[in-house]
Amino acid sequence: MITAAELGHLRRHVGQARASGKSIGLVPTMGALHEGHLSLIRRARAECGFTVVSIFVNPLQFGATEDLGRYPRRPEEDAAMLAREGADLLYLPEAAAMYPPDFSTAVEVRGVSEGGEGAVRPGHFRGVATVVAKLFLQVSPDAAYFGRKDLQQVAVIRRMTRDLDFPLRLVVAETVREPDLLALSSRNAYLSPEERRQAALFPKALFAARDRVSAGEADAGRLGRDTRAALEGAGFAVDYADVVDPETMRPLDRVVQGAALAAAIRLGKTRLIDNVLLLEP
Ligand code: AMP
């Protein structure tokens, strides 16, 4: 596996791969890799001739009071995992190179980035869209891989990709979960053993809502309110629990085909997000 910290180095290797007829897959991550990330990497490896994994804890997408400083960083374990998985290139850009002191440009994806996470984390999706646009331009992948766990991120990137004509295919992979259904997340490392046990009640409430839809519930407002109450009853602070259209991220009145229930909770100092598809499209 090649490791590249500089853009010139990255471009040289990606250029060579493309010249030899290989398609390029990109998996953007913030590291502290787990099976959720690996599922994206395996998919990229299956579909592309040359798989680039980026690890960059993007300061632009963290608010001033958020966890940028304590976000888990495990560069050596990550590199060993990626080598084992057969990733072709690990791209580790430096923040100072990505964002020189007079960096002045931002990508703003209006509408779809404003509710949900965007309402609670102002500027978050501007940071995400800006870094993903840079990575798309730096790597020029044929396909880019994202996880459905970050539902609104997928919506924002899908819209940006269309609006700005990025010539690539977006691939969205299913959420990988622990046996108790907690979605894998680098932030799960923050949980104490007691919090980790309690955290299983988060996906449980989301899947209970999905079961109610299977049993005929179609009132999206009631489902959102009841889910919020269930999460609060389980001891979480709830940022939101909304039934949304995953393309637009607009709240829905009725549970229509393709509707998702997206939620964010806080447990001690840890903030977790998750979502479930309520009704197959
Ligand atoms: P992150 O390192 O948290 O920025 O995540 C990098 C990519 O992995 C994003 O596209 C995430 O949506 C995806 N991802 C994170 N957790 C999971 C998971 N449990 N299942 C599937 N994909 C995931």
Q: Which residues line ligand 1 (CB under 6 A)?
A: 29-30, 36-37, 39-40, 146-147, 149-150, 173, 175-176, 183-186
CA distances from 84 to 33, 134, 176, 186, 275 (A): 13, 27, 19, 19, 30
pTM to 2 decimals? 0.97
CA-184 nearest atom, ligand 1: 19
> pLDDT of 60-83, one tens digit each?
999 999 999 999 999 999 999 999
Catalytic residues: 37
DSSP 3-state helix, strand, coil percentages of the chain (rounded to 5)?
Answer: 40, 20, 40
The tens-digit pLDDT sequence of the chain (281 residues) is 999 999 999 999 999 999 999 999 999 999 999 999 999 999 999 999 999 999 999 999 999 999 999 999 999 999 999 999 999 999 999 999 999 999 999 999 999 999 999 999 999 999 999 999 999 999 999 999 999 999 999 999 999 999 999 999 999 999 999 999 999 999 999 999 999 999 999 999 999 999 999 999 999 999 999 999 999 999 999 999 999 999 999 999 999 999 999 999 999 999 999 999 999 98
Nearest to 53 by CA among 99, 91, 17, 107: 91
CA-32 nearest atom, ligand 1: 2
Nearest to 143 by CA among 56, 51, 19: 51
Residue 254 one-letter amino acid: R
**CA separation for the pair 220, 134 (Å, rounded):** 37
Ligand 1 mutation target, pool 40, 170, 188, 271, most atoms within 8 A of CB: 40
Largest CA distance in the chain: 57
